[in-house]
Structure 1
Amino acid sequence: MRDDVPGLLWEGLRQTLYMTAWSSVFALLLGTLLGITLVVTEKGGILAAPAVNRIIATAINGVRSVPFIILIVLLLPLSRLIVGTTLGPTAAIVSLSIGAAPFLGRIIENALREVENGKIEAAKSVGAGPFTIIGRVLIPEALPALIRGMTIAVISITEFTAVAGAIGAGGLGSLAIRFGYQRFRTDILLGTVLLIILIVQIVQWSGDFIARSIDRKRCKSG
């Protein structure tokens, strides 16, 4: 059985990358919406709606307080409703996306709060509307911090895929448990760990590189 290791690792890697990529896209879309909404609807915000802000903040805190392994189980009926099954990488994307979105929303919220209020006021003074301020002031000014925050989120999603593997999601996490741990295959266990470390390092390096590139361009243009 030793000669099946490359094939097993490749399939586990493929499933993990599939889950991570699509979950990151959906979590980014939902998390960005949540983060922006939290900033603009706060008291004194450009679309102030304190009641809406409190409801969203409470919902985010509630989801974030649930351990991910429990959240996956709670979301199994939703996975079945959306994709028709509770097993496999595609079903896991539902739980991964919803589980990561509140975390990413808070990261985006904190990044947007770093934008100097003076720049927002300057945009208002020339007649810019709320959505213009969001698209041309808030997001561009916070972009390096947003990239770094998204990098952290993608790494967290990668780690979540390993947890999801414990309940049939597939990927490197499932491989490590079913073959590495339960069948005492140390070679597979070490292989999955090394691949996850490699994914995390590549994501971290890429995020840092993009953020630094944006910072350097700003310094040159400034």
Structure 2
Amino acid sequence: MKEKYGPIFTLYFGPHPGVVICGYKAVKEALIDQNDVFGERGDYPGFLNFIGEHDIAFTNGNNWKLRRRFALLTLRNFGMGKRSVEERILEEAQFLIKEFRATNGSPVNLTSYLARAVSNVISSIVYGSRFDYGDKRLKAITDSIFNNFNILSSMWGALYNMYPELMEYVPGPHKKMWRNFQDIYDITDEFIEHHEKTLDPENPRDYIDCFLMKIKEVKK
């Protein structure tokens, strides 16, 4: 299509126009040279209708900039991009090797093992602790994310993003997305409640502690 229409053309996804940018030069001009103009994200109902407008991946505006700046600074303080997070990864790799050895050479689906290993590295920063590989909460988190990405990358996800109002009345796999998101919310709520009871402002343990402290600071 680039050969026929040039490096920039429009495709309609249902009623929504989408601009396609092809080639290094055009992409650099839009996303680097003029990122203030073209840096905002478009509507993505598949996430926004369930997560709301408080995340750092799919929203825009000043509140998003504040949340993103806070998230990057906090994650760096806990080792993201530094040697300290490398130590967490190496530690988790040992747990992963132990799980592999426990299979005694029988065929296994590596996807679930690797997903839990990655989730545990993230959990150690966000929740302040990793999960045992047999923990039902870890399985619920990884399964929910995996299932939602499967739905969103399918025809049902595409239709939901094109016609979200209509698809609310249509039965299908997309109806399971809310339940999957809710599973993660429920687990996170337990951690937040525990953190609120045990918070020590002088010694923040993880991302949740820092976020709770930031909330108190903003309220003042």
TM-score (norm 1): 0.27
RCO comparison, higher one (Cα < 8 Å, 6+): 1
Q: Which structure shows the bigger proportion of residues in strand conformation?
A: 2
TM-score (norm 2): 0.28
